[in-house]
């Protein structure tokens, strides 16, 4: 069942939660196990938040039992590109200069995703400040493509795209100023969406107005 769970879309997970067929704890446990397995081969994660993700999943189960209205991303496991700030979680921007930086506030985009029920799995790899078309840096090394680990997933949201393609969450939050979501999505066999500039607030993201 765990292999089936990790390939469910965000919409499918929502239906399964509401029908009682699977629980948020089951899903988070399955995805975290998958993350540990593929990260060793692909180097997709900078910082993992497994303990907090499991705690959030337990809280989600309590909400599910309460019968309250649930937000659209309820219980959806998600990774965040390490160019966006996450309160209390290390945010490096792919740079050794920020290797130990822990912000106090969430980027607005992530705050909204979290408000709508998303559960953070961790931060995905990116080239330093998102300035390369491949995902490699002195801080984290080189990220591989799930289809061929010795090939690149592109950049600069390469860790995000590789995570989704490898079954580490059905969706990921990246950023795109010149193809940084769209190119990795194409190289990893996914769909990447770049909304119009200004549609999503850029506060808390290192790459200005290009967040998606």
* Choice among 8, 23, 48, 81 that is catalytic: 81
Q: Which two tokens stand for residue 195?
A: 């909304």
For residue 212, the model assigns a pLDDT of: 46
Q: Which two tokens stand for residue 151?
A: 């090939």
The four Cα atoms 142, 165, 10, 207 give a dihedral, to 10 degrees, of: 40
- Report, as an integer, the average pLDDT of 109-134: 97
Q: Are 157 and 134 in contact (CB under 8 A)?
A: no
Give tens-digit pLDDT for 158-208.
999 999 999 999 999 999 989 999 999 999 999 999 988 888 888 888 865
Give tens-digit pLDDT for 48-93.
999 999 999 999 999 999 988 999 999 999 999 999 999 999 999 9
* Active-site annotation holds for 210: no
Rounded distance, CA 141 to CA 138, Å? 6
**pLDDT over 50 (residue 101):** yes
* Active-site annotation holds for 196: no
* Active-site annotation holds for 81: yes
**pLDDT over 50 (residue 126):** yes
Q: Which two tokens stand for residue 167?
A: 């079954």
The residues with which 84 forms a beta bridge, in sequence order, are 205
Rounded distance, CA 86 to CA 107, Å? 6
* Choice among 95, 157, 175, 180 that is catalytic: 180
Specify the residue for token string 């029908």: 19
Give tens-digit pLDDT for 25-47.
999 999 999 999 999 999 999 99
Rounded distance, CA 135 to CA 148, Å? 14
Please say whether the dihedral angle defined by the alpha carbons of residues 210, 92, 81 and 162, taken in this order, is positive or negative. positive
CA distances 138 to 16, 38, 97, 141, Å, are 41, 21, 10, 6
* Choice among 137, 156, 157, 210 that is catalytic: 156
Instruction: Report all structural domains of the chain as residue ranges with CATH numbers, in order of start.
Output: 2-210 (3.90.1300.10)
pTM of the model as a whole:
0.94
**pLDDT over 70 (residue 150):** yes
Rounded distance, CA 64 to CA 80, Å? 25
- Report, as an integer, the average pLDDT of 125-140: 97
For residue 1, the model assigns a pLDDT of: 53
Among the listed residues 123, 130, 124, 120, the one whose alpha carbon sits nearest the alpha carbon of residue 144: 124
Give tens-digit pLDDT for 3-31.
899 999 999 999 999 999 999 999 999 99
């Amino acid at each position: 069942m765990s292999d089936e769970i990790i390939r469910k879309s965000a919409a499918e997970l929502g239906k399964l939660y509401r029908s009682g067929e699977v629980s948020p704890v089951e899903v988070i446990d399955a995805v975290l196990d998958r993350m540990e397995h593929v990260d060793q081969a692909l180097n997709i994660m900078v910082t993992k938040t497994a303990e907090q993700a499991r705690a959030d999943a337990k809280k989600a189960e309590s909400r599910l039992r309460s019968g309250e209205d649930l937000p659209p991303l309820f219980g959806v496991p998600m990774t965040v590109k390490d160019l966006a700030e996450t309160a209390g979680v290390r945010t490096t921007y792919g740079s050794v200069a920020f290797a130990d930086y822990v912000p106090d506030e969430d980027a607005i985009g992530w705050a909204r995703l979290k408000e709508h029920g998303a559960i953070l799995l961790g931060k995905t790899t990116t080239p330093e400040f998102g300035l390369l078309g491949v995902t490699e840096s002195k801080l984290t090394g080189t990220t591989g493509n799930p289809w061929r680990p010795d090939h690149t997933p592109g950049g600069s949201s390469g860790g995000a795209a590789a995570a989704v393609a490898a079954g580490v969450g059905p969706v990921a939050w990246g950023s795109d100023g010149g193809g940084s979501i769209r190119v990795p999505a194409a190289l990893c066999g996914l769909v990447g969406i770049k909304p119009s500039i200004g549609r999503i607030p850029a506060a808390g993201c290192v790459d200005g107005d290009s967040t998606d």
